Structure 1
């Protein structure tokens, strides 16, 4: 049960706070109607200087947003504001009509206090304390340096500055206004800090990753499930522990990589746990690579199809027929060139062979760093993922010239890395894929997942409108850098099947931040290789319901 149903709505507090924030900013409007200025003064009690009005209005607007998001810091802020208003009335404010309104507001806040259940992260609290200390210290130092004032003399000056008055202090007539601006800016910084979303969590520890490794092996896990074992992902588990979601937080976006792993019966519970984690942390939830079958489980979130996962079913695959002619010829060229191959588990690689394969990877990428998120594992051939299988091609001289690494999924194997030396013969990648498909058939794997075909429908269409033609031309021109079209044409030769994959997100208002986060995750550098002294547990065994 979510907080709105359990503790009641918070929209009245949001609406009233936003309205007050708008009225606070009225003095900044030079040509505001008289009636609007009158309403503003009902709230403030006296005119504010324009700069102060804008800053205070902005601070209260952030509080209103925090109230909508059920932040406990916003609740404390509203309580402080109401209590200050009551104290002002008690001190002789002639607006006694405010007393019942303020008392009612305080009572309502107390009754609905449980609805504000999102507490600030300890890191944000420490930052706010440090900011407050710096603010007080800088104000005191400035006061002492300008005219030798005592700290006690600053108070009336600040009040005068906030009210737009012309109070002055001997030797520094400008000081009250400056201190007023510093105080309001500091207040804004404190509000923003306390209401900010939580910082990104640390990656899951090795115990969590071992739990996830067992869930990956469940036969109901998706072909993208093994990529949840990346060392840069954090985890949320379903309440029964039978499913989990791996995710990363960047720019306030909590991006899950594909569907939950583990028992399909617990996938919905894992999704709910992830969404609740995002709500409490203030993150915007997103998914990169969600399958079509699980889109309804994401509730009211939006989705955009952005391509397809390329899959080959070993039981249906054959090199015979005219449509497979190009693949047959490519494979035949490698035999004519004296290429040999083998498929081994990563744990069985010798140190010498491992180093030679890593040299192939470095030459294949031209020295660029490994990248990826949703359909790539990390720790390439470091021994950290010993259960992966590696298909290796050797040249006529016996030196390795290409390799592909595959990870074992619940229902099959998924391609992780495909590397070929630039001087290796053409057809080597086709040869290794064909042999992995045959390997999968011999070992009972139902599917081999290959690369991702982004924007496949656009690339595959024969009839394109103006927008589609523009998009296609853009992909074509950018292909030397992003390899979308060339990778699609390569995969198409195998006559594969396709699984639609979608980006799931909260709101169109998040689209710019979402795009920045997802592009950074997919194309940014991965973490440096890990010294493989403590390899992750291999996906093994099936989970059975009790």
Structure 2
């Protein structure tokens, strides 16, 4: 901020006279502009420095050293130069704190941006000089034109002299603006939060852990998503599934494996995030995992509730189930039926028809979901997944559900697709079909959709809800127009589930905006956002 303020503040006349004896006016103006730019870039570097980015430290050291020189050139501003020197010393003394690795791909992106914008600025400057060749003093050659355009990118004057100040200023502004744009774009790309492709080492062992510990968490099977990386404890007794999104290492659900090995897996995951300068965050973990993450140093807040239905206790009788019962009876009278079967028990034709129908019923091209979605259907690796196929009276497939295994006696809802031209009540019919077939399938519990901040909606309906709660409720209802927060809660509540809390884990409150953006991006609620979908999602 000091660089910015001193760069735009009026210079002291006495000192300016001394400077002008050694530095031309153009150099002084360039130094003042460079001071402002250096200050703005140092502000931008703050986030990277806070995350311990080594590359951010390198650039900050260069800018701090440059600001010292710029303060002297622009007007012998000794006080500001001393402040820049102090900052440089502090950065050098604390260099051991900036060890986070950089994304190597960003280096090449930055070089491409620097070269691209620099070449564009050079070409425009050269073209402007060529157009005004008859307005030049003397007869400078093409080499002098090129030198003028190249130096203009750095804000310096070249050998070409124009007869009119307007022409000279236009060339200077064009090349100088392109030079600043090239440097700024390159720096932004260089310091862009890193990412990493999926690291799926040990996937076979993950299947073994799921067979032994998959019943601990209804989200465990979603660790098999192809875009999630795996972070193992040193003894490979536990693993965390995560994905890096916009510089956030985003885990979902509980660690998989023996609970005694969770601390080692969490420690390895946090160390990896620290090594790369990523912000660690966990979406939708359970109570036991929340306690483990809190012991590891993360803060924990309730994110919402998961709807779980016990199949043995489910019944369509009673007044609370009147709405569901009427919808199901109406669909059955209309001739709708459901087939409930494991994927491995479907014929090749039936499975291909289901995959084709799922694509046809998708509401838009976006595949939503991350923490509570598998994002694939019909894969041979998912033979234990349960499919519910809803057919109309003519035998046409009009809707389907996919549920993934939750241990040996549970299911977790993954995919819900339906033909929008089908009669109203198809979803209720398919869900009830699963719950009623639970005993025959050996299924004791079924996890339905996740309801973000469910308690706000539930308490807002109660007598005596306070003004703060009512305001919070109105805000969430407004957000529901875009993200279906309330509709998911209402759709779950009709089955009278048991509500199980799920938690969000994060380092500090100031990281929440970045985590929210990363979570919404992972769940496909932020760009590339093209249309709304009907998949099961976790909204954050």
The TM-score normalised by the length of structure 1 is 0.71
Match of 1:122 among 98, 104, 108: 104
Superposed CA deviations along residues 314-355 of structure 1, whole A, max 9, x for unmatched, are: 354455555445555555555555554432211332233234
In structure 2, relative to structure 1, the CA distance for the partners of 1:33 and 1:469 (3 Å cut) is farther
Find out whether 1:215 has 2:209 as its counterpart. Answer: yes
Structure 2 counterpart SS, 1:312: strand
Q: Which residue of 1 aligns with 2:415?
A: 417
Q: Which residue of 2 aligns with 1:247?
A: 242
* Cα distance, 1:57 vs structure 2: 1.9
CA distance, structure 2, for counterparts of residue 267 and residue 438 of structure 1: 36
Q: Which residue of 2 aligns with 1:457?
A: 455
Find out whether 1:30 has 2:9 as its counterpart. Answer: yes
* Cα distance, 1:410 vs structure 2: 3.1
The TM-score normalised by the length of structure 2 is 0.71
In structure 2, relative to structure 1, the CA distance for the partners of 1:132 and 1:523 (3 Å cut) is closer
* Cα distance, 1:449 vs structure 2: 0.5
In structure 2, relative to structure 1, the CA distance for the partners of 1:345 and 1:126 (3 Å cut) is same
Q: Which residue of 2 aligns with 1:55?
A: 37
Structure 1 counterpart SS, 2:212: coil
Structure 2 counterpart SS, 1:25: helix
Single out whichever of 257-266 and 507-516 deviates more from structure 2. 507-516
Q: Which residue of 1 aligns with 2:22?
A: none
* Uncovered stretches (5+) of structure 1, i.e. residues with no partner: 1-21, 38-45, 89-93, 528-546
CA distance, structure 2, for counterparts of residue 137 and residue 496 of structure 1: 63
Q: Which residue of 1 aligns with 2:505?
A: 504
* Cα distance, 1:415 vs structure 2: 0.9
Q: Which residue of 1 aligns with 2:133?
A: none
Q: Does the CA-based 8 Å contact 2:284-2:504 persist in structure 1?
A: yes
CA distance, structure 1, for counterparts of residue 401 and residue 117 of structure 2: 57
Q: Which residue of 2 aligns with 1:295?
A: 290
Find out whether 1:233 has 2:239 as its counterpart. Answer: no
Find out whether 1:194 has 2:187 as its counterpart. Answer: no
* Cα distance, 1:408 vs structure 2: 0.5
User: CA RMSD, aligned part only?
Assistant: 4.9
In structure 2, relative to structure 1, the CA distance for the partners of 1:467 and 1:179 (3 Å cut) is same
Q: Which residue of 1 aligns with 2:161?
A: 171
CA distance, structure 2, for counterparts of residue 409 and residue 474 of structure 1: 34
* Cα distance, 1:311 vs structure 2: 0.4
Q: Which residue of 1 aligns with 2:383?
A: 386
Superposed CA deviations along residues 380-424 of structure 1, whole A, max 9, x for unmatched, are: 335563321112344444444443211002362101123344565
Superposed CA deviations along residues 42-64 of structure 1, whole A, max 9, x for unmatched, are: xxxx8964322111222344456
Q: Does the CA-based 8 Å contact 2:403-2:411 persist in structure 1?
A: yes
* Cα distance, 1:452 vs structure 2: 1.7
Q: Does the CA-based 8 Å contact 1:140-1:151 persist in structure 2?
A: no
Q: Which residue of 2 aligns with 1:342?
A: 339
Structure 2 counterpart SS, 1:218: helix
CA distance, structure 2, for counterparts of residue 84 and residue 507 of structure 1: 33
Q: Which residue of 2 aligns with 1:43?
A: none
In structure 2, relative to structure 1, the CA distance for the partners of 1:520 and 1:68 (3 Å cut) is closer
Structure 1 counterpart SS, 2:264: helix
* Cα distance, 1:253 vs structure 2: 3.5
* Cα distance, 1:372 vs structure 2: 2.0
Find out whether 1:469 has 2:446 as its counterpart. Answer: no
Find out whether 1:404 has 2:401 as its counterpart. Answer: yes
CA distance, structure 1, for counterparts of residue 230 and residue 380 of structure 2: 22
Structure 2 counterpart SS, 1:127: helix
Match of 1:264 among 252, 259, 264: 259
Single out whichever of 469-478 and 283-292 deviates more from structure 2. 469-478
In structure 2, relative to structure 1, the CA distance for the partners of 1:183 and 1:280 (3 Å cut) is farther
CA distance, structure 2, for counterparts of residue 326 and residue 50 of structure 1: 71
